[in-house]
Amino acid sequence: MRQQIVAGNWKMNKTLDEGLELVKNVLERLEQRPHGPVVFAVPHPYLQAVAKMLKVRKGFHLAAQNCHHEEKGAFTGEVSADMLASVGTEYVLIGHSERRQYFKETNEQLARKVNLALAKGLLPIFCCGEPLAIRERGTHVGYVAKQLKAALFHLHEADFRKIAIAYEPIWAIGTGRTASTEQAQEMHAAIRVLVSKKYGKSVADDTSILYGGSCNAQNAPDLFRQPDVDGGLIGGASLKAEDFTAIVNAMK
């Protein structure tokens, strides 16, 4: 079912004590149950501690920032979907632009990650998006379509319905450039059309598509009012309780 979702991706930031204090402050500021799921995507060492904090509050959920594409084995330093599920993780980010860029993750690997996450009961937040050169050439819809087709469109409808998609305009993240509200809505609508062509209008209408391009407390209300923007995958603004709370409160 389509929901507005706000997911905060801490990336490689915060010590454990700082992270727990941040979660505590967000929970205190959000006394009422939020309009949609609020997800904390925290570093792997903090998952179990944050899970305990969130267990007592409805509407708040835990995500990992990544999982390995193999079920288990000799992969020193990696974390499996099974491990994540065993410590109370509910969601997992897959295909984040930084994982694609810095760790050279391929669409084939991402498809395997999606399969394993679903098999272990995790809900993938699948990231897609284009770099500046692709945007300037005007081929961004085709570029994102290729990502979705390669990593998600092998799924049966029942499994695809468990996926949330996060659109990341890579050219608008930490670059000083800004994607307009119109550009965000246009791309989200295009993604929904792609899903509709593959799975039908009912599935497309039920798919949550989050915006992940430098969403902040100032632009979140306008973004979340767009008909095809179903919340956000928040980076830097998720590290400040006041800013993250304001974004959560921007959900319809």
- Active-site residue list: 96, 168
Angular region, 151: left φ>0, alpha ψ -120 to 50, beta rest: alpha
Please work out, in degrees rounded to the nearest 5, the angle formed at the alpha carbon of residue 248 by the alpha carbons of 99 and 64: 30
Counting beta carbons within 10 angstroms of the beta carbon of residue 102, is it exposed (0 to 12), middle (13 to 18) or buried (19 or more)? exposed
Angular region, 163: left φ>0, alpha ψ -120 to 50, beta rest: beta
Helix axes 140-151, 181-199, angle to 10 degrees: 40
Cα–Cα dist 228/202, whole Å: 14
Rg of the Cα atoms in the chain: 17
H or E stretch including 160? helix 157-160
Give the chain's length.
252
Spell out where 68-201 has E strands: 91-94, 123-128, 164-167
